[in-house]
Amino acid sequence: MRRFCPVLAVFLFLSSGLFACRNTYESARPYKVYPQEQTFFSAVINESETSEHLVTLHEDKYPISVKLYKDGRFSYTLRKLGDGWGKWKYSATDGYIDLYAERSIFVMQMQLRAVDPANPSALALEFSDRFGPKYLSMTTK
């Protein structure tokens, strides 16, 4: 019996560690996504930073603003974290835009997806933060 107790204790300790490593942030999208060709997204891609009319993708509740540029860069503004720059690329296999930026304390990896195949302005920004997955419906400004 004495040998059994330490073995049981080690087993319980290790198995609890495995359960702690599970992904606890699982949630379903609140909308359907539609893979698109790269040209679908052209309405929200700015020619350059100096363009007369800049298209900004924005969401008020999080809040975040994103501007995509034709050269593969994007700028963003987050309320508490400020402004920054990153790179974007179109994912031909999945039909969305992948955005990537590095900050001093974390890496931002987001996807811009079409939520209405008939409306290029109906887009959603998807990412995970420390609280779990975020699904933001973006509006254009």
Q: How far is CA 135 from CA 7, 19, 32, 38, 123, in A?
A: 45, 26, 11, 21, 10
Q: How far is CA 40 from CA 82, 96, 119, 120, in A?
A: 29, 10, 9, 6
Segment 81-139, tens digit of pLDDT: 899 999 999 999 999 999 999 998 889 999 999 999 999 999 999 999 888 999 999 99
Instruction: Give the separation between CA 101 and CA 76, rounded to whole angstroms.
Output: 9
CATH number for the segment(s) 26-140:
2.40.128
Segment 1-12, tens digit of pLDDT: 555 566 655 555
Two structure tokens written together for 58:
């924005």
Domain range summary for the chain, segments of one domain joined by +: 26-140
